[in-house]
Structure 1
Amino acid sequence: MSKMLKPQLADAVKTAMRAKDAPRLGTLRFLQAAIKQKEVDERRELDDPEVIAIIEKQVKQRRESIAAFEHAGRTETADQEKAELAVLQEFLPQAASAEEVDAVIASAIEEVNDQGLTGGPAMGKVMAIVKAELAGRADMTAVSAQVKAHLM
């Protein structure tokens, strides 16, 4: 990214305020608060990868909430969560293509197999490699399912 995420987020908050876009503004402020809380807890400034990790966590929470609300028949609340999810995803890096994800998984499995690991123990090692390569660019839940299918 050409621009640091925190200033980019601050600019998005200002734009949402000017546009009087309350739902977007609420989501952005919530994200800023989560980042600020982490900085206060750790007593230091966060860099972009750490901010991306916070955004990923928020995205994962929204996806889980959407599934729960839809299962409970609360479509209005699920739609609100979907809108928040869309706002959060704007700040994540460009998503990796399916081919790129497959290539990273295959490479990681090959690397771990060369170390002599297979089955369950290999899963953790493969996921560590894959997560480092695809951080913020792929849904790790789906990637984990793919890795498990390849290893079994």
Structure 2
Amino acid sequence: MSLLGQLNQDMKDAMRAKDKARLSVIRMVKAAIQNESIKKGDELDSEEELTVLSREFKQRKESLGEFESAGREDLVAGLNVELKVIEEYLPTQLTEEEILAIVEEVIAETGATSKADFGKVMKVILPKVKGKADGSVISKLLQQKLS
């Protein structure tokens, strides 16, 4: 079942369960995917749906950090709920050790030796971990290895 199909089914389940918070998040994610589909002018494939889902997750994660630093606990609680719901639709996230293994493998594969090769290595890593790892974690680990 496609992500959009899964969202439709979960939206119906949330309506039946009268879970307003979950229903709201599912509707937001579904709308984001549909908007992207309209922008593209065609149906999204599963990889494009995953990209939209990852973007929504990342936006909320960034907002969470800002709200926490501003002391807005009322908004933090709501965002945590949204993050949990969105996370259910993302692929299982890689651990830092798994990401490090991929980074080391790609460095050896590309023959990267310095920070000047950073972009070349990232270009190879990102498609391998799409939706499964945060880009900032990958970047941090890669910088450590290339320094």
TM-score computed with the length of structure 1 as normaliser: 0.91
Aligned residue type for 2:130:
A
The alignment-based identity, stated in percent, is 35
Tell me the amino acid that sits aligned with residue 28 of structure 1: I
**Residues 49-69 of structure 1 deviation map (CA, whole Å, 9 limit, x = unaligned):** 111111110111111101000
Residue 98 of structure 1, CA deviation: 2.9
Aligned equivalents of 1:9 and 1:141: distance in 2? 28
State the Cα distance separating 1:142 from its structure 2 match: 1.1
Q: How does 1:23-102 map to 2 (within 5 A)?
A: 23-102=21-100
Structure 2 unaligned residues grouped into runs of 5+: none
Kindly indicate whether residue 77 of structure 2 is the aligned counterpart of residue 111 of structure 1.
no
Deviation of 1:122 (Å): 1.2
Q: How far apart are residue 99 of structure 1 and its match?
A: 2.8
Q: Determine the C-alpha separation between the residues in 1 that align with 2:115 and 2:107.
A: 12
AA of the residue aligned to 1:80 = G
For residues 25-44 of structure 1, the C-alpha deviation after alignment (integer angstroms, 9 at most, x for no partner) is 11111111111111111110
User: Is 1:131 aligned to residue 129 of structure 2?
Assistant: no
In structure 1, what is the Cα distance between the partners aligned to 2:63 and 2:142? 25
Deviations 1:68-104 (A, max 9, x none): 0000000110111111011001001112233321111
Pair 1:18-2:16 in alignment = yes
Q: Which amino acid aligns with 1:79?
A: A
Give 1:140's aligned amino acid: G
After superposition, the CA RMSD in angstroms is: 1.2
What SS class does the counterpart of residue 90 from structure 1 fall into?
Answer: helix
- Unpaired stretches in structure 1, ≥5 consecutive residues: none
C-alpha distance in structure 1 between counterparts of 2:67 and 2:30, whole Å? 25
The residue that corresponds to 1:121 in the other structure is 116
